């Protein structure tokens, strides 16, 4: 089952913002990303925004983290937390609250 249907850029939010993470190639080109498969792979060049988008998703849904810091208080995610407010998540039915967020540096 696919829980998250799509990620959308909120209207008129990205254009007025500069710096990280708005300057990343993925964020500059993001309008809408639809998920039509239960598994999604993010591939691209280093520094293109793959990990940043995953971090923003974790912040947007308030994921439980495996590391020592919560996504809500982790200082390394400060800019990403702000960016996550500019995303609109579209769910298939009821939002799933199960899951966790794990980064390699948290382990």
| pLDDT tens figures, 45-85 | 999 999 999 999 999 988 888 877 788 888 888 999 999 99
Query: Quick check: bond before 21 cis, omega within 30?
Result: yes
Region 10-15: what's the mean pLDDT? 67
pLDDT higher than threshold 90 for residue 98: no
pLDDT of amino acid 39: 92
Range of the structural domain that residue 12 is part of: 4-106
Which residue from 84, 76, 89, 90 is spatially nearest to 13, judged by alpha carbons?
Answer: 84
pLDDT higher than threshold 70 for residue 101: yes
Percentage of the chain modeled with pLDDT above 90:
40
Burial class (CB in 10 A: 0-12, 13-18, 19+), 51: middle
- How many domains would you assign to the chain? 1
């Amino acid at each position: 089952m696919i829980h998250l249907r799509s990620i959308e850029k909120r209207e008129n939010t990205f254009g007025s913002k500069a710096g990280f993470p708005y300057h990343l190639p993925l964020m500059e080109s993001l309008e809408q990303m639809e998920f039509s498969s239960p598994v999604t792979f993010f591939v691209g060049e280093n520094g293109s925004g793959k990990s940043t988008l995953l971090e923003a998703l974790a912040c947007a849904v308030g994921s439980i983290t495996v590391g020592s810091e919560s996504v809500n208080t982790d200082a390394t995610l400060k800019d990403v937390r702000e960016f996550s407010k500019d995303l609109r998540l579209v769910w298939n039915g009821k939002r799933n609250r199960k899951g966790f967020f794990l980064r390699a540096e948290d382990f």
